[in-house]
DNA sequence: TTGTAGGCGTTATCAC
DNA sequence: GTGATAACGCCTACAA
């Protein structure tokens, strides 16, 4: 069912039908009614492809998500999808590999999809390879990166102050009298991990909890970012330093794992040790006790991006090209 | 950069360029090399929109997800996305409302996107309104529904035997000597909830755990499907029947909540009470103790759908129009 | 082996 | 107020 079919049925030209479909003026009210009825009766749906060919936009936004399993990022993508659905934009979500080359390849592949804009989920995309791919394949289209920083004329970055956040977590625990505070890092394969780690070092020095000791020695890093990994590392921590009474984990998942070990050993939380996670995810709630967690504002960042995106898509100015959201500690039962 | 631009640069016609791009025969090896080089140098990317207009397919699959917050379904969508990415198909994920009308509206809106096929995530879409919308707006395109049953010439349903699964959970607990087994249902606003509930009733009768009592009295239903809700209901259950020693929850999330209450009351799991969740999600792992959970095969269903989808897209037969996956209890620490 | 012409469904630009 | 007509970028007969 094309506009020509409808036109024939109505005894008018395709142009008139097109005008009715797009609510454009210049068509007799009577004719308009008639065409509208016909459209309805034949449940005509416009062919967005053909439309896109001439209007040069697809009402589609590409979202790249790294395949390294992160529910949290996917939730963010889902959130953005919701916001865009409201204004009748669809999202094409594509999984990419995690290496810089694979990320860059993702840019290229999404480029072929003729999306109107692109969102990069996570700091993993903040690297030179990706920046280059953007220059090559996304020259004219706006690119938004969530929790990562890329520089370019058409690139907008929304990051959250994870470094400052983790730093304040140390301070928070120190304020509760915790003297031996350790940090479980996630895999150091992306900027965000470094940020958090740096934040811990800064906080540890500022709080003066390491004395003569090198604060680096308070950092542990597991094989993976999952619950089992957190469990293992916690085991090691307790073995090496049974006096540990403050714990900050780079993700809620790692924290869940650590908490398991503490349960098993009968170490009470937060009486004997306080635990803080990062992400403020559903895992923080599923954990017992409910985890105090650093809200790194993934959802809020998604909102910011959605707003900028919609503004940009509608021809308005998206605003500042780099913004940072402040994080906040959401206190629950584990501290 | 269009094929015409490349053609001009190479001093040939657009058709030759097109032939090279699509790896079609009938072009001088020398010319082919030259064109290929040009394509590369100008990092030409084909306009999928224009291509779609003539080939009448978009290499895009629509996925409808209900906005009722369900990480689990989104993970499934993500999973399918991954599978389709491998064969260079993109997915357009659209959130829809939860009422039958809103779901049907989603079908219409995805219809405008000229996707090659549609996937409906969850049993919420299994209703007559949606079936009607499919007949109207998706007449020619294959529709796949995950964990829900819709009948139609172009509709393929993959469901999982949640009813049988929950039934066997009752049996499983009864086999462990649990005599008072209760069920916490999720909101009864979709077929899947009914299935699970029915399964419980069937299991309760078969196991003979209700005696003269009406097994309906063993069913509790909370306001929401979240952790807090599970916590509240568990509280009530213990008040009304402190002798409860077996618990089946319609979702892992509800189970997490229930476990919280048990912790608080100092009731040991599984010593005093065994707990089983449904979904076999990450929440089951985040919980302490790790939850025994009924794997309702969402991911596996996604795989089935992806396979059928790809087959169908490539012109092969997708196979049976309705299949059911058997569920299985994944035993962990809570039973 | 190569090029020409027509068409995919829509919108935009003119005449009328 | 209405209707031809030409794009949009690509593919595919068919002709050369």
- Specify the 3-state DSSP secondary structure of A276: strand
Task: Tell me what pLDDT residue A274 has.
Answer: 98
| Shortest distance, CA A8 to any CA of chain B (angstroms) | 21
Residue B134 covered by a domain: yes
The CATH number of the domain where A256 resides is what?
Answer: 3.40.50.2300
Is B307 in contact with B263 (CB distance < 8 Å)?
A: no
- Residue B4's nearest nucleotide, by CA–C1', is D9
Residue B331 covered by a domain: no
Same domain, B166 and B275: yes
Range of B220's domain? 162-295
Residue A332 covered by a domain: no
Task: Tell me what pLDDT residue A151 has.
Answer: 96
Using the beta-carbon criterion (under 8 Å), do A285 and B227 form an inter-chain contact?
yes
Using the beta-carbon criterion (under 8 Å), do A227 and B67 form an inter-chain contact?
no
Choose the weakest-confidence range: A3-7, A202-206, A326-330, B247-251.
A3-7
Same domain, B173 and B275: yes
Residue B333 covered by a domain: no
| Shortest distance, CA A213 to any CA of chain B (angstroms) | 34
| Shortest distance, CA A206 to any CA of chain B (angstroms) | 33
Same domain, B286 and B194: yes
Is B302 in contact with B138 (CB distance < 8 Å)?
A: no
**pTM of the predicted model, to two decimals?**
0.89
Counting one residue from A and one from B, how many pairs have CB atoms under 8 Å apart?
Answer: 122
Q: Of A55, A77, A97, which residue constitutes the final position of a domain? A: A55
Residue A281 covered by a domain: yes
Residues from chain A that touch B113, judged by Cβ atoms under 8 A, are 48, 60, 90
* Beta-carbon contacts of residue B179 (< 8 Å; ≥ 6 apart): B209, B245, B246
Q: Which residues pair with B297 in a beta bridge?
A: none
Q: How distant is C1' of D1 from CA of A52, in Å?
A: 27
Same domain, B170 and B153: no
Residue A333 covered by a domain: no
Beta strands in chain A (DSSP E): 60-66, 90-96, 117-121, 143-146, 155-160, 181-185, 219-221, 246-249, 274-278, 292-295, 322-325, 328-330
**Joined tokens for residue B208:** 């003979």
Task: Name the residue with the least CA to C1' distance from nucleotide D7.
Answer: A54
Using the beta-carbon criterion (under 8 Å), do B90 and A113 form an inter-chain contact?
yes
Nearest to A95 among B46, B85, B94 (CB): B85
| Shortest distance, CA A55 to any CA of chain B (angstroms) | 11
Query: Which residue is closest to B107 within chain A, CA to CA?
Result: A45
Task: Tell me what pLDDT residue B94 has.
Answer: 85
pLDDT over 70 percentage in chain A: 100
Choose the weakest-confidence range: A247-261, B179-193, B206-220, B283-297.
B206-220
* pLDDT, mean of residues A15-23: 92
Give the neighbor-by-neighbor strand order of the sheet with B90-96: A322-325, A155-160, A143-146, A117-121, A60-66, A90-96, B90-96, B60-66, B117-121, B143-146, B155-160, B322-325
Q: How distant is C1' of D4 from CA of B203, in Å?
A: 72
Using the beta-carbon criterion (under 8 Å), do A81 and B95 form an inter-chain contact?
yes
Query: Which residue is closest to A283 within chain B, CA to CA?
Result: B286
Please identify which residue in the block is written with the tokens 């640069």. B9
Same domain, A96 and A18: no
pLDDT in tens, B140-161: 899 999 999 999 999 999 999 9
pLDDT in tens, A116-167: 999 999 999 999 999 999 998 888 889 999 999 999 999 999 999 999 999 9
pLDDT in tens, A48-102: 889 888 888 888 999 999 988 678 888 899 899 889 988 888 888 888 999 999 9
pLDDT over 90 percentage in chain A: 73
Task: Tell me what pLDDT residue A212 has.
Answer: 80
- Residue B47's nearest nucleotide, by CA–C1', is D9
Residue B332 covered by a domain: no
Can you state the angle between helices B3-10 and B29-41, rounded to 10 degrees? 120
Task: Tell me what pLDDT residue A155 has.
Answer: 97
Query: Which residue is closest to B282 within chain A, CA to CA?
Result: A283
Output the average pLDDT for chain A.
93
Same domain, A174 and A256: yes
Quick check: A47 CB within 7 A of strand C? yes
Beta strands in B161-300 (DSSP E): 181-185, 219-221, 246-249, 274-278, 292-295
The strand C neighbours among B residues 41-60, by Cβ under 7 Å, are 50, 53-54, 56
The CATH number of the domain where B31 resides is what?
Answer: 1.10.260.40
- At B270, the pLDDT band (50, 70, 90 cuts) reads very high
Task: Tell me what pLDDT residue B219 has.
Answer: 97
| Whether residue B270 has a cis bond before it, omega within 30° of 0 | yes
pLDDT greater at residue B45 or residue A332:
A332
Query: Which residue is closest to A86 within chain B, CA to CA?
Result: B95
Task: Tell me what pLDDT residue A301 has.
Answer: 97
pLDDT in tens, A253-300: 999 999 999 999 999 999 999 999 999 999 999 999 999 999 999 999
Is A302 in contact with A76 (CB distance < 8 Å)?
A: yes
User: Would you give the DSSP letter of residue A13?
Assistant: -
Same domain, A67 and A151: yes
- Residue A16's nearest nucleotide, by CA–C1', is D2
Same domain, A309 and A278: no
User: Would you give the DSSP letter of residue A290?
Assistant: P
Task: Tell me what pLDDT residue A154 has.
Answer: 93
Residues listed for chain B: 335
Same domain, B313 and B266: no
pLDDT in tens, B48-71: 889 888 888 888 899 999 988 678
Task: Tell me what pLDDT residue B271 has.
Answer: 97
Using the beta-carbon criterion (under 8 Å), do A114 and B78 form an inter-chain contact?
no
Same domain, B50 and B120: no
**Letter string b/e over residues B147-163, b meaning 16 or more CB atoms within 10 A of that residue's CB:** bbebebebbbbbbbbbb
| Shortest distance, CA B278 to any CA of chain A (angstroms) | 15
Nearest to A75 among B60, B71, B137 (CB): B71
Task: Tell me what pLDDT residue B250 has.
Answer: 97
Residues from chain B that touch A109, judged by Cβ atoms under 8 A, are 88
* Residue A113 CA neighbour count, 13 Å, CB half: 30
Candidates B49, B116, B132: best to mutate against A (most CBs of A within 10 A) is B49
Residues from chain B that touch A91, judged by Cβ atoms under 8 A, are 92-94
Using the beta-carbon criterion (under 8 Å), do B71 and A67 form an inter-chain contact?
no
Q: With 80 as the cut, is the pLDDT of residue A111 above it? A: no
Same domain, A279 and A174: yes
Using the beta-carbon criterion (under 8 Å), do A82 and B67 form an inter-chain contact?
yes
Is A60 in contact with A115 (CB distance < 8 Å)?
A: yes
Task: Tell me what pLDDT residue A103 has.
Answer: 95
Residue B244 covered by a domain: yes
Using the beta-carbon criterion (under 8 Å), do A114 and B60 form an inter-chain contact?
no
Q: Of A34, A55, A76, which residue constitutes the final position of a domain? A: A55
Same domain, A201 and A268: yes
pLDDT in tens, A60-74: 999 999 988 678 888
Choose the weakest-confidence range: B77-91, B136-150, B258-272.
B77-91
Element (DSSP H or E) covering residue B132: helix B128-137
The dihedral formed by the CA atoms of A195, A197, A198 and A204, expressed in degrees to the nearest 10: 140
Structural domains counted in chain B = 3
């Amino acid at each position: 069912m094309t506009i020509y079919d409808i036109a024939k049925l109505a005894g008018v030209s395709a142009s008139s039908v097109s005008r009715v479909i797009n609510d454009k003026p210049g068509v007799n009210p009577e004719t308009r009614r008639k065409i509208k009825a016909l459209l309805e009766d034949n449940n005509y749906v416009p062919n967005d492809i053909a439309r896109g060919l001439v209007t040069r936009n697809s009402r589609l936004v590409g979202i790249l998500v790294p395949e390294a399993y992160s529910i949290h990022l996917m939730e963010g993508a889902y959130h953005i999808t919701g916001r865009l659905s409201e204004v009748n934009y669809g999202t094409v979500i594509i999984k990419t590999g995690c290496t810089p080359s694979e990320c860059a390849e993702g840019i290229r592949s999404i480029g072929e999809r003729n999306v109107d804009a692109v969102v990069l989920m996570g700091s993993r995309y903040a690297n030179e390879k990706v920046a280059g791919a953007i220059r090559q394949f996304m020259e004219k289209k706006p690119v938004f990166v969530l929790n990562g920083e890329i520089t370019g004329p058409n690139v907008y970055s929304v990051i959250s102050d994870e470094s400052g956040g983790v730093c304040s977590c140390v301070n928070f625990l120190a304020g509760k009298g915790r003297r031996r505070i350790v940090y479980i890092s996630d895999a150091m394969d992306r900027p965000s991990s470094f940020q958090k780690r740096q934040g811990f070092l800064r906080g540890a020095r500022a709080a003066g909890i390491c004395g003569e000791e090198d604060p680096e020695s308070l950092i542990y890093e597991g094989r993976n970012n999952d619950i089992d990994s957190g469990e293992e590392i916690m085991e090691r921590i307790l073995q090496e330093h049974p006096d540990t009474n403050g714990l900050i984990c780079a993700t809620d998942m790692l924290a869940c794992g650590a908490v398991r070990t503490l349960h098993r050993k009968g170490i009470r939380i937060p009486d004997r040790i306080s635990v803080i996670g990062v992400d403020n995810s559903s895992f923080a709630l599923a954990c017992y006790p409910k985890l105090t967690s650093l809200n790194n504002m993934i959802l809020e960042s998604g909102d910011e991006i959605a707003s900028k995106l919609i503004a940009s898509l509608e021809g308005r100015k998206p605003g500042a090209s780099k913004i940072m959201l402040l994080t906040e500690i959401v206190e629950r039962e584990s501290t």
